[in-house]
Amino acid sequence: MESSREGMRALWISLVVLGATATLQVVIVLVSGSVALLGDTLHNFADALTALPLGVAFLLGRRAATRRYTYGFGRAEDLAGIFIVATIAASAVLAAYAAVDRLIHPADVSHLGWVAAAGLVGFVGNEVVAQYRISVGRRIGSAALVADGLHARTDGFTSLAVLIGAGGVAVGWRWADPVVGLLITVAILFVLKDAAREVYRRLMDAVDPRLVGTAEDALRGTPGVLGVAGLRMRWVGHQLHAETDILVADTLTVVDAHAIAVEAEHRLLHAVPRLTAATIHTDPDSANIHDPVAHHR
């Protein structure tokens, strides 16, 4: 609940900052006719609007698990991540279309000083939002929020590119503005690749191998644990779940074996960041848990 509230706070603050930035840029686009600034503005609006599906996902994630959704509703964040990737792709298409159209049908760009100022404002606004989203996303374990932060960071650098376009037009290069618009499109495609990779890995239940190593060390360091096998970890929203088999002496009573499993779970939850649930099954050392065929017979 606390991590969801922190994520919601990050979304609302970034929505306000990016909304104000994009609104200011719209006014200057209408006055100046800069297609580079138009591409940057479209990207900023798209980035601001991605806060909406993420907000819905965080709210859904607070709901308790049901008999149908036994793991809860944390996967809604991954669905929001897909929406974010689609939004980034759409902004790339729009920016490319506007730039190509301007190359085919050249037009003058006016108020170059205001265009340059809007690009600088866009950079500052996006970088502030990017640092905040990425920091909070990594702290609460939200891949979708991290992807959204990477999106904002690229928006900031594309805003700086608007300055280059304005400078080119100022020295008489009319093609500079649409060319910068195309460069912005390329930058958007790079962030699309990074965001898509983050979301894909989360959808495929990928975890950082270092977390798996940390979990194995915590389990093996538990008194009474003779071995570890079948460790599996997965993200559900921004919460991490784990399942594993541990090997204990076959002379132990059920109560003693259970006590070891409880201690192993306690150590695991404290060793692995964002781990909120762990299921631990005990096997006697007379069973060969390192042989998957034997273990499942």
Annotate 260-290 with DSSP letters as a single string.
HHHHHHHHHHHHSTTEEEEEEEEEETTS-TT
Compute φ and ψ for 284, nearest 5 degrees.
Answer: -70, 150
Least confident span in 95-109, 175-189, 240-254, 281-295:
281-295
Domain ranges, residue 12: 2-203
Tokens (6 digits) for 100: 């190509």
Residues 8 and 122 in one domain: yes
- As a residue count, the chain comes to 297
Claim to verify: residue 72 and residue 180 sit in the same structural domain: yes
Whether pTM > 0.95 for this model: the answer is no
| Chain segment 42-93, per-residue pLDDT in tens | 767 776 777 777 778 878 877 888 889 888 888 888 888 888 788 778 877 8
What is the spatial distance between Cα 15 and Cα 178, in angstroms, rounded to a whole number?
28
Tokens of 294: 């034997």
pLDDT of residue 166: 66
Domain boundary among 175, 203, 231: 203
Whether 187 and 233 map to the same domain: the answer is no
Domain termination site, one of 158, 188, 203: 203
**To the nearest whole number, what is the mean pLDDT of the chain?**
79
Q: What are 205's two structure tokens?
A: 């239940």
CA distance 159 to 122: 5
Counting the structural domains of the chain, the total is 2
Same domain, 169 and 40: yes
Q: What CA–CA distance (Å, rounded) separates 117 from 37?
A: 11
Residues 80 and 155 in one domain: yes
pLDDT at 143 over 80: no
Of 203, 229, 253, which residue is a domain's last? 203
Q: Is 29 found in the same domain as 159?
A: yes
| CATH number, position 220 | 3.30.70.1350
